[in-house]
Amino acid sequence: MTKNIQCGAPKDSASDYSKHIELLMITADKVPAGWRKTYDEAMRGLLKRDCASRSSLVVSGPLIQDGEIGFHVSKDDHCVAGILRKTAARLQGQCQVCGAQARMRVIGLKRRPLCAECYAPRALTAELTRLLQDLKVRAAGKSQTLYSAHDLSPRIRALLPDSCWHHVQSECGAKVVRCIASDDLRGMSDWLRAIRDRALALTSATTDG
Q: Rounded distance, CA 51 to CA 58, Å? A: 13
Q: Rounded distance, CA 16 to CA 35, Å? A: 26
Residues 162-200 as b or e (16 or more Cβ within 10 Å = b): eeebeeeeeeeeeeeeebbbbebbeebeeebeebbeebb
Span 163-180, pLDDT tens digits: 999 888 766 666 778 999
Rg (CA), the chain: 25
Helix and strand counts by DSSP (H, E) for the chain: 7, 9
Going by pLDDT thresholds of 50, 70 and 90, the confidence category of residue 145 is: confident
Tell me the pLDDT of the chain averaged across its residues: 89
Span 38-50, pLDDT tens digits: 999 999 999 999 9
Residues 144-171 have a mean pLDDT of: 89
Span 25-38, pLDDT tens digits: 998 888 999 999 99
Residues 180-184 have a mean pLDDT of: 93
Pairing relationship of beta strands 59-65 and 176-181 according to DSSP bridges = unpaired
- Least confident piece of the model among 44-48, 49-53, 138-142: 138-142
Going by pLDDT thresholds of 50, 70 and 90, the confidence category of residue 209 is: low
Query: Residues, the chain, total?
Result: 209
Q: Rounded distance, CA 11 to CA 18, Å? A: 10
Domain locations in the chain? Answer: 2-92, 107-204
* pTM exceeds 0.75: yes
Percent of the chain with pLDDT over 90: 75
Span 77-134, pLDDT tens digits: 999 999 999 999 999 999 999 999 999 999 988 999 999 999 999 999 999 999 999 9
Q: Got the DSSP string for 59-107? A: EEEEEEETTEEEEEESS--HHHHHHHHHHHHHHHTB-TTT-SB-EEEEE
Going by pLDDT thresholds of 50, 70 and 90, the confidence category of residue 204 is: confident
